[in-house]
Structure 1
Amino acid sequence: MQPFRSNSAFRSEYWQDVTARLSGDRDGDRITVVTPVQLRTLSNAVFKGGFSSADRLVNWKVPLDYNGVDPQEEIASQLPRWGLELKRSVVLMTAAKLTHASVEEIADSHFKLICITTSGTRNAARAGSDRTVYPAWRAGTINTMLLFDGQMTDAAMVNALMTATEAKAAALQDIGLRDADNGLIATGTSTDAVILGVSGSSAYGAVHEYAGTATELGAAIGRLVYHTVCESVTTQHEE
């Protein structure tokens, strides 16, 4: 694992020309991931969520008291300032410390996988519990980026996000993070985001149709998400 607190840049050992860099200006810090090919993406991103395509993935840090009226418009105006094209970018937002991002990757005979997670847990929440709800969101957020080099069906992409969510919940359970509203073990925060980007490369000779926990792919997703969530959550209060 490679925490950004010890290095502001990451270059994949396994996937050529994939990089992630932590940078900042008066508009806030951001992690920008660059890939050498357009990825097919599936996410709940603020900007270009759902199914989309991109070769620039951004995790933008906003203030804890952020209450933007039109975050999509704000992002659209920011991207050119950062030298990024709207049609090639997907953007997440967070109030977490980006210096405590955790990165882990794996190379398999049938794929390569990179996982980058940032965690802010002020609004830790347990899904399915009785708790206070809000008409909008509060700052916090566990944001995860999964970059997959290989071929995956749309159904497998959905399955991959399910597995990633299960792994996040397992990590928080083992950490013992609690929902401050009711004291129960949290399954996430109330504003979590995840993005999966798939290269579509046929070089591995396999099309992944499933990504559940009993598959090679699902097991890899689970391990990387679990490890990066644990590290980013447990180190977020360090200076």
Structure 2
Amino acid sequence: MNTFWLKHGNGTDRYMYSPSFWPTLTFQLHPDYLLVESGETMTTLSSALWGGGLRQISRFINGKVPLSYHSDNPEEWVKERLATWGFEEEGTVVLLTAANLERTSVIERVGDQYRLVVCATAGLSNTGRVGKVKSLFSSYLSGTINLFLFLQASLTEAAMINLIMTATEAKCALLQDLGVRTVDGEIATGTTTDSIVLAVQGGKGEEYPHHFAGTATTLGDGVGKAVYAAIKEALAR
């Protein structure tokens, strides 16, 4: 398992990176967004405001917003940002974060019939504990722990859902191990605005399809460890 930092290069406005085993998956860090392009459409499942749900996506963006960000029409705000950045709306998924994009952590992992890249940004300004959040909001706010999981494997749709559950468990386990607490002193399970994108490259008819992705499977174990490490690195910087 390899860990990489994305950061601005000296005298440049972006930093580029590609995994050694996945050269068509490119990362570009700009001052106000992180761009990941896959070179071909991937099957995605996500909680994203823009491009969320079960989709076919080839462009992934983690957009920077100020800590004071609030929008009564966040979809329109994202649409305007995409136009400003020069990206098409179709085939794009967008997460928002007030976290420092220079804290972006990338983990590579190769395992049992899968290749994985986990990308995380993280901040803890609005921690919460599930079932105990004091203030509730109906509008979308900027995500604080954002996860992108890029996977080369054959997965069923059910296994994709299982994998998101496993990744969420890994996030909760890390925060518990670090002793991260809410303003009320309880162990945090996340922040109130976390988001996740799972992107899969691989057909269902391959020789070794993954039907399960819980913590007792080789795939789930690998994803859990990579997510744990990626968020920990992002928080440590």
Q: What is the one-letter code of the residue matched to 2:212?
A: Y
User: Percent of aligned positions with the same letter in both sequences?
Assistant: 37
Which residue of 188, 191, 204 maps to 1:189?
191
Matched with 2:201 is: 199
CA gap 1:139/1:42 in 2 versus in 1, 3 angstroms: closer
CA gap 1:138/1:42 in 2 versus in 1, 3 angstroms: closer
TM-score normalised to structure 1 length: 0.90
Using the alignment, how far apart are the partners of 1:9 and 1:53 within structure 2? 24
CA gap 1:109/1:130 in 2 versus in 1, 3 angstroms: closer
Using the alignment, how far apart are the partners of 2:43 and 2:74 within structure 1? 23
Matched with 1:35 is: 38
Matched with 1:13 is: 20
Residues 123 and 140 of structure 1 are in contact (CA less than 8 Å); yes or no, is this contact kept in structure 2?
no
Using the alignment, how far apart are the partners of 1:130 and 1:83 within structure 2? 38
Matched with 1:82 is: 85
Q: CA RMSD in A?
A: 1.8
Matches within 5 A, 1:1-239: 1-5=3-7, 8-24=15-31, 29-129=32-132, 131-136=134-139, 139=142, 141-180=144-183, 182-201=184-203, 205-235=207-237
Residues 65 and 139 of structure 1 are in contact (CA less than 8 Å); yes or no, is this contact kept in structure 2?
no
Using the alignment, how far apart are the partners of 1:71 and 1:138 within structure 2? 8
- 1:158 is displaced (CA, Å) by 0.4
Using the alignment, how far apart are the partners of 1:90 and 1:63 within structure 2? 20
SS at match of 2:151: strand
Say which is worse superposed, 94-103 or 138-147, in terms of deviation: 138-147
Q: Any stretches of 5+ residues in structure 1 without a counterpart?
A: none
- 1:20 is displaced (CA, Å) by 0.9
Residues 155 and 209 of structure 2 are in contact (CA less than 8 Å); yes or no, is this contact kept in structure 1?
yes
- 1:202 is displaced (CA, Å) by 6.9
Using the alignment, how far apart are the partners of 1:166 and 1:177 within structure 2? 15
SS at match of 1:40: strand
Residues 7 and 29 of structure 2 are in contact (CA less than 8 Å); yes or no, is this contact kept in structure 1?
no
Deviations 1:157-186 (A, max 9, x none): 100000000000011111111111x11110
- 1:57 is displaced (CA, Å) by 0.5
- 1:11 is displaced (CA, Å) by 1.0
TM-score normalised to structure 2 length: 0.91
